[in-house]
Structure 1
C-alpha cells in the first residue's frame, strides 16, 4: 500500500472521485447571483420583497434599490429565472433614481458589482470582503431587537411627528460635539430614534466617559448601543438630525406675528347629539376650538353642520386670550389630544359619510389644566395619557 499513489489509494477505499467542473459563470454573473441571493434571504425572513421608504432599515432600502436595478439589467431575468421562485423580478420598479439612463457598467457600479474584468487577476484586490464601515453598520442593525413595550413609546413618536409638522420642533444638523441625553429624539438612517434610558457612566478604552443607552426606533425595535457609538453614527450620517425640544414660541406676546389675532377665545363644546356613542360618553366628549370672533356666531347653525355632529352644542368653557397665535395654539391641542380623537362616522344631510374632527375623549378638567399650563408656559414636556385620562410628564 505504501507504493500506491493518491488515486489508487482512494480507489482501494471505494471512494469515487468526480472530476471538478469548472464554473461556466463569469465573475460578473456570479456577483449578480450573489446580490440577488441577499434579496431572496430578505424575502424568506420577512415574507415580502424589500421596499423603499424611511420605515425600513438601511439594508432593506439598499436591497430595494438593488432589486429595481436588477429588473433593468438586460441579462438578469434569464440569469436569475431559476432562482426567482417568488417572482421578485416581475414586479414594477419603484426606485427614486432613473435607472433607465444608466449603462450596464453604471448599473453594476450602483449594485456594488463594478467592472471585474480588468481586476479579475489582480491578487491585491480583496473580494467578498466587507469594509469596516459596512461591518459596523451591519452589527448595529443586527443588535436591534423587537421592543416588547413599544406601545408605551408609540404615542411619543406620533406626537413628535405632529410637532414637526406644526413647527413646534425643528430638525437640526447633528454637530460633532452634540450631546445625547435621556428623552432626546434623533433621525438616524431616515428613522426616528428616541433615547429612552441613559445608563451609568463608564470609562471607554480611550479613557473618555461613555454610557450604555436604550434607544427605541419608530419601527418598533430597540438597541442598547453606547452613547459615543450613537454620536458617531449621527455625525457620519448626512441625514442625521437632532430634534429640538418643543418650542411653543410666542403664543402670547407683545409683538404681533402673521398668525396672531389681537384677542381670541378658546372654546370647549359638548354635543347634544343622540348618536349612541356620543350619548354614552357625553360628559367626556368635547370639541376644542379657537376663534377671533364671538363663539355664539361660530356655532350658529350647528345642527345643520357635520362639523358639529349635526346637532346643537353646549358651550361648557371659554378662555379669553390676547395676542394669540392661533396656529400654534391649535397645534398644541392636536399634539396633546391627537391620540384621544374620537373615530366617528356620521351621514351629512345628503347621506354622505363624514368623519368630524377636533372632537376628543377628554375630561373637561384636563382641558382646563392644559389651558392653564399653556398660559403659564409649563405645558412643554407634557403628554395626555389616555389610559389614566390625565396629563403626564414625558
Structure 2
C-alpha cells in the first residue's frame, strides 16, 4: 500500500498552473490606493450634498456605511488621495464629524432660555411664527369686563321696612334661615332674601337676559341691609353663596303657593321703561342710529342700568344715549317688556349682531326699527288696556287699529 504524500512532497512537485505563485499584499495593511480614492470621492460628494461628513453612528444605513469606511480611509491617506482632495477633507481643518445623539451635550451648547434660542444669528425665524395672535394676554384674561362693586343704595328707604320686617321675623322664629347646600342650584326671584357675609340680602331686580362671558345669564340687583347694593350676574351670586359657609336662604312667609300670603315677599311692581340709542362707531350701526332703538324695562336707576353698556352685548358693546323713559306702576316688568317686544317684533332687525371678546356672534333681541314716539304710544295703550286691539305696521311705520272681522 502506497504511503500518502506529505505536505513537503506536495510543495516540492512542479507547480504546473502557478497556483502557489502568490504575491504578497503591498501597503501597511490599509486599503489600496484605488479604493481609498474611490472612498474619498464618495465622501466628497456626500459632504457637498449634506454639508457634513458621514457619521458612522447615523441611523441611515448608507451614511453609517460610508462613515465607517471614511474613519478607516482617513487614517492612511496616500499621495493620490491628497491629489484629489479638493475640499481639504484630509487636512487638519476638515469639517468635524457631528456628535452622535447618544453623546452628552456640551454645556456651552445648552441654551439658558427661549430668548437665547431665538437670539441665534443663524436662526432666521419669521416674527409672525413666534408672536401670539388672537390671544388675550394672561394678565387681561383674569380682569373681568365688569366688577359688581358695592355702592350706596340711593333709594334704600324704599326697602328699609321690608328689611326690618324680615329681621323681626327671624328673631321671633316666624321665619327660618336654611344653610345653602354645597353646589345647590339657586334660582332667585325678585323679593327673595338671603344672608350673605352676615348681611341680609334682598333680590330687588332680576333684569333681562344678558350674554356676558359667552353664556346666557341674568343681571341681578342685590340690596343689603347695611344700605349698599351690587349688580352681580346670577351665576356669580350663586357662587358667592356656595363659597360662604355662613350663607343662608331665608324662608318665605306662608306654607306654600296655595297660601294667599305666599307672594307677600314680592316687591311692588314698579319700574321704568326706557328707549336707548346706540353710540357705537360701527359703520353699519352708526348709519341707522336715528331709527334703531333698544326697548328695556328696569327697576333701578336707568343711568346705572346702562353705565356698563360698552361691555354688554345686549347694548351692542357700546355706550348708549337714553332718549325716552316712561314710568311703570303696579305692572309686571318682565311681562310689560315681553309685551312690547312682541308688539314690535316685525320691526326687529334680522341680521343685527355683535362679536364678543370670545369671537362669538351675539344677536341681541331688544333692538327695533322704531321711533321713541312709537314706544310712548304703545305704553299709553298698555295703560289703557287696549294694546291688543292694535298692531305696528312696518311699511307705514305707524300703530294702527286691528281690522274688525265680521
TM-score relative to the length of structure 2: 0.33
Larger relative contact order (C-alpha < 8 A, sep ≥ 6)?
Answer: 1
